[in-house]
Structure 1
């Protein structure tokens, strides 16, 4: 196994550079919370980049809280989708801990006005315009749409709605019950007016017959 001298040398220079950079400026624990300028709600998962130290990247949690090691004078960039980029310079303090609130503005982008058209090109618009029936007004179109042929064609392909099916079933049940009551009424001779008429005629004939027998 060959020993990689180039890797060791690069790592050594990187360590020395970091040590010299750290010795020049004070190290502190940089913490805070990212929130919106309008409502004060936290901006979760904000990307935080230390532009002054190798673009070291960090991320806030879902509540907008962050905490990492930085140096005095570092420029920290805060970016999030839908918000303007915000930069903050770590100030000089007496202690080794610094906390602050980062307030980000909502990004408002005004789009140019767009007028939608149902045609893909000017050529298609010209063709559609030339094929317009200028002499056909609303009354003629309404009569054409309400014609028997048009209604029959729509009825053949249009399914019945739930309300229509319900009304149809209610009417059919009512019609069936009505017919059943009528049939039962005429099946019972006591409820049949024709049967009562025949009975009265028979009684009258019986009385007349009895009077003839008395003479």
Structure 2
């Protein structure tokens, strides 16, 4: 058991030494860039960048989609943001100590299932409303109620008249007024009525006959 433990420690030390030597040999660069929407070229803010090649270091882009941090050449960087597909890129080699890139991220569109919202908070409330349900009238009964005398009188009282209806009512009232005026003039002026003259002469002749008797 002791030999196995010693072997594991030796291999672990060799691995750590090799990993550290590899990280030391790789060049450090200032890795910067902008993150844009692939469809609209609008900046994607607050993207999370994770360096999978070096201790899972996490960095964040600002509200303008800009990021800048120190990384090794060849590091694998994973970009993730809400509403976008994750992207992975590798830090390229550079002649100087800085690398600037432009990254495009695609929108992640998810089709959600249809959700029907009901006005009942629980099954008990649904059962209560269902048991006390009032069946609505059909179209024929609704039309009868709308055309009833009470309904029509209420609508005539509450609904204002439009311009055409007011004009027609005014014309009808004027016509009735003129007709009544002409009729009253004909009946009130008996001098121009032949029937009135005949009745007057008849009354005179009837009076003369009664006096002779």
The normalised TM-score by structure 1 is 0.50
1:120-135 equivalence runs, <5 A: 120-134=121-135
CA distance in 1 between counterparts of 2:104 and 2:135 reads 60
Q: Does 1:106 align with 2:127?
A: no
Change (3 A) 1:135 1:36: closer
Corresponding residue number in structure 2 for 1:81? 82
**Post-superposition offset of 1:19:** 6.1
Q: Alpha-carbon deviations, 1:98-142, whole Å to 9, x = none? A: 221111111222211112222334454343233223374567679
**Post-superposition offset of 1:75:** 0.9
Unaligned 5+ segments in structure 1 are 1-15, 152-215
CA distance in 2 between counterparts of 1:62 and 1:133 reads 56
Output the aligned Cα RMSD: 3.5
- Which structure has the bigger radius of gyration? 2
The number of equivalent residue pairs is 135
Q: Does 1:50 align with 2:51?
A: yes
**Post-superposition offset of 1:61:** 2.2
Unaligned 5+ segments in structure 2 are 1-16, 155-213
**Post-superposition offset of 1:85:** 1.8
The normalised TM-score by structure 2 is 0.51
CA distance in 1 between counterparts of 2:54 and 2:75 reads 7
1:12-161 equivalence runs, <5 A: 20-134=21-135, 136-137=137-138
CA distance in 1 between counterparts of 2:34 and 2:28 reads 20
**Post-superposition offset of 1:41:** 0.9
